[in-house]
Amino acid sequence: MLNPLAQELNDTLRGTVAGELLSDLGSRIFFPRGIISQGAEARQFGKVANATIGTTMIEGKPAALPSVKKFAPELTNAELVSYTPTAGNPDLRKKWKELMLKKNPGLAGKATSNPVVVPGLTAGISYLSDLFVDSNHPLLAANPSWDNYALVVETRRGAELHTFNMFANGGFDIDSFKKAMEEEAKSGSVRVLLNFPQNPSGYSPTNAEAKEIVQVVKELAEKGTKIIVWDDDAYFGLNYEEDIYPQSLFAEFACLHENVLAVKVDGPTKEDFVWGFRCGFLTFAGKGLTDEQYLALEKKLMGLIRSSVSCSSSPSQSISLHAFSEPKIEEEKKIFRDMLCARYKKVRAFVDSHKSSVLEALPFNSGYFMSFHTKCNAEELRLKILHEKQIGTISIDASTLRVAFSSVDESKIDEVYSAIYAAAEEMKK
């Protein structure tokens, strides 16, 4: 038996692409009218006293130990130690939406939900898998992909992770993408994850490729397929070449067709260089969805958040909100982005000027990483590079080696890549 509150949300979403694509858990989940919503009512009407919430209050303010407070002197007690609402600090959500519109002018005039705060992009992907993926509903993603997708989708959700081939002829393999999408569509619905700039390859589509990707989705939607597109924008803004599609593809999918639901998974983790803050956002957009339907999706997400971490961390939300209004933040971010771009150029120059019969660089133009397709076993090569050259890299699968140039100083790049190429040559012997 479904809880009546879940039923209510499902009724609100009935007939929409979002309602059609819910998983088993997605259909069951709801946000209870329990402590949290009674607490919200009490904040509004409990003028004499608010005896609802499990925090220690002194004269209406949250208590904070001086030994804690001294490390964040500019935050109020509430900003530092209070719980945030389940869907996140409302001011931060508003600010992130404003920033999203600024970063993606293509979203102008297109309705989206309010971003919901989740504890990092990983949690966002996990919650989306809860909502939309189950043993009968697979997710499609690129091969190679970030390995955590498989852990979330296959191991955690017991669903299948289907893949398309990421590259052909030095660019995005649109034929493989189209074929895989059409194959998924035979079931009537498609759940697909696109991640640009990509982990592990460091690739983002060109303007022409972006157009083709959108066209594939549009054509299937026009034929009646219900499609949800997850845009994992973890590395947004780190584009190092001219012809890269400059926005999130979310801007294209947001209002593409009534059969397309777009979800943006993003956050300050890499964009604002705060990896351990554990703060991310999920934002929905679909042509024709009403505010009430966006709210129903938000409530479902809130149920998932409430039943797992309850709410996201306050200090990181408070600091992010303040930082986003600092006058120099854009200038400061540009300095870091330029530094990463300089590392990219150095890697690009090395790779372009060195031949190897063992290593073939996969296309890369953005983000934190580049990867090699290896003609030897990538794990054996990784171990050799680690133990003989004292350099850490990641073997993604038997024939893919990932190098995070984001974490290597520019002055060390030649040394690191020379060692990788030398180790690869030695593998032939």
* Positions in the binding site for ligand PLP (CB under 6 A): 120-122, 146, 195, 199, 232, 234, 267, 269, 275, 280
Q: How far is the CB of 146 from ligand PLP (least distance, A)?
A: 4
Nearer to ligand PLP, 55 or 308 (CB): 308
Q: How far is the CB of 429 from ligand PLP (least distance, A)?
A: 34
Residue with tokens 């390859």: 201
- Do residues 125 and 232 lie in contact, with contact meaning Cβ atoms separated by under 8 Å? yes
Distance of alpha carbon 296 from alpha carbon 306, whole angstroms: 15
Q: How far is the CB of 260 from ligand PLP (least distance, A)?
A: 21
Nearer to ligand PLP, 36 or 233 (CB): 233
Sign of CA dihedral 139, 143, 146, 152: positive
Question: What is the per-residue DSSP string for 349-371?
Answer: HHHHH---SSEEEPP--BSSEEE
- Do residues 279 and 117 lie in contact, with contact meaning Cβ atoms separated by under 8 Å? yes
300 Cβ contact list (under 8 Å, min separation 6): 9, 22, 26, 29, 30, 31, 131
Q: Which candidate, 200, 201, 182, places its Cα nearest to that of 192? A: 182
Q: How far is the CB of 203 from ligand PLP (least distance, A)?
A: 12
Distance of alpha carbon 293 from alpha carbon 147, whole angstroms: 32
Please give the DSSP secondary-structure letter assigned to residue 248: -
Q: How far is the CB of 314 from ligand PLP (least distance, A)?
A: 17
Q: How far is the CB of 248 from ligand PLP (least distance, A)?
A: 13
Q: Which candidate, 207, 248, 250, places its Cα nearest to that of 111? A: 250
Nearer to ligand PLP, 350 or 372 (CB): 372
277 Cβ contact list (under 8 Å, min separation 6): 120, 268, 269, 313, 316, 319, 320
Q: How far is the CB of 80 from ligand PLP (least distance, A)?
A: 21
Q: How far is the CB of 197 from ligand PLP (least distance, A)?
A: 8
To the nearest 10°, report the CA torsion of 19, 23, 25, 30: -10
Nearer to ligand PLP, 350 or 369 (CB): 369
Tokens for 92, please give them.
Answer: 């931060």
Nearer to ligand PLP, 199 or 239 (CB): 199
- Do residues 144 and 285 lie in contact, with contact meaning Cβ atoms separated by under 8 Å? no
Nearer to ligand PLP, 196 or 253 (CB): 196
Q: How far is the CB of 84 from ligand PLP (least distance, A)?
A: 17
Nearer to ligand PLP, 173 or 232 (CB): 232
Nearer to ligand PLP, 133 or 296 (CB): 133
Nearer to ligand PLP, 141 or 221 (CB): 141
Please give the DSSP secondary-structure letter assigned to residue 224: T
Distance of alpha carbon 229 from alpha carbon 286, whole angstroms: 10
- Do residues 26 and 9 lie in contact, with contact meaning Cβ atoms separated by under 8 Å? no
Nearer to ligand PLP, 350 or 364 (CB): 364
Q: How far is the CB of 69 from ligand PLP (least distance, A)?
A: 27
Residue 262, strand partner residues: 229, 285
Beta strands in 97-160 (DSSP E): 116-118, 139-143
Q: How far is the CB of 201 from ligand PLP (least distance, A)?
A: 11
Nearer to ligand PLP, 275 or 336 (CB): 275
